[in-house]
Amino acid sequence: MAPRGYVVIALLIVLLLVLLVREVKSDEASGLVREKQDIELWWDDKFLNLSERIFDSMDYRWLREEIGFPDLARSLARFRKKLALRWLRAFRRSLGETLLVPRHFRPGGGASHFFRRWRLLLLTLRLHIILGYATLVVYLFGPHHLTTLAFSWMRFIPESGSYKRRTGKIHLGHSR
């Protein structure tokens, strides 16, 4: 690359530095925490069933194929897409809030925590990847394509042992 190219890169780095390191405003800083009261909502069965409807194509197909309202079906799909993107954004915020709880613990047991830390890292990483992928799929194709574009690698991390021990179940509140 010519020096001119590197000068442009250097200027870009300085510009990004100014944008990224500037002071986070107090209302911005609390943005993730503001959703705190909504976190329990995610585990509510009624809310979960409603959430599933957003990504379910049944209503769309019923409108378009069974009663023959393709325009209405398209309108529903557009609305659901917006809703799905907002749902994913809210989900990301709630996850962020969970991850952003500062934990101050007694030191000790360093080596024995190695695998727990790895597990947590993989889980967090996977959730971020899935969320990014889901947002992209919904943005490009709509909410009804998540199932068809899902990856089989999604379940490569086993369930948490302590969670299974405490709750006696693997998945959330109720079975489908």
Partner 1 sequence: MASDRLVASRVVDEAGHIVPCPPSYDPSMTGFTVALWIVGLALEAILLLRGRKIGLLGQFPWFYSYMTYYFSVSLVSFIIFRLRPDLYATSYWYFYLVSLLAEFAVVLEISDHIFEPYLALRDLARFLIICICAAFFVLYVFPSLTHSHPFSTALLDFSLRVSLTKAVAILALAAAARYYRLRIGRNVAGLITGFLLYLTVYIVNFSAAEKFGRSLYANILRFLGPLGSIVCLAVWAVAMWRAESAPATGRRIGGSEGEALEELIDQVTRFDNLLSRLWRK
Q: How far is the CB of 69 from partner 1 (least distance, A)?
A: 24
Residue 72 or residue 159: which is nearer to partner 1 going by CB?
Answer: 159
Q: Which residues contact 124 (CB under 8 A, 6 or more apart)?
A: 99
Residue 3 or residue 68: which is nearer to partner 1 going by CB?
Answer: 3
Both tokens of 105, joined, read 């613990």
d(CA 95, CA 83): 18
Q: How far is the CB of 64 from partner 1 (least distance, A)?
A: 19
Place of tokens 């309202």: 69
Residue 33 or residue 140: which is nearer to partner 1 going by CB?
Answer: 33
Residue 11 or residue 136: which is nearer to partner 1 going by CB?
Answer: 11
Q: How far is the CB of 149 from partner 1 (least distance, A)?
A: 9
Q: How far is the CB of 72 from partner 1 (least distance, A)?
A: 23
Both tokens of 75, joined, read 């309108």
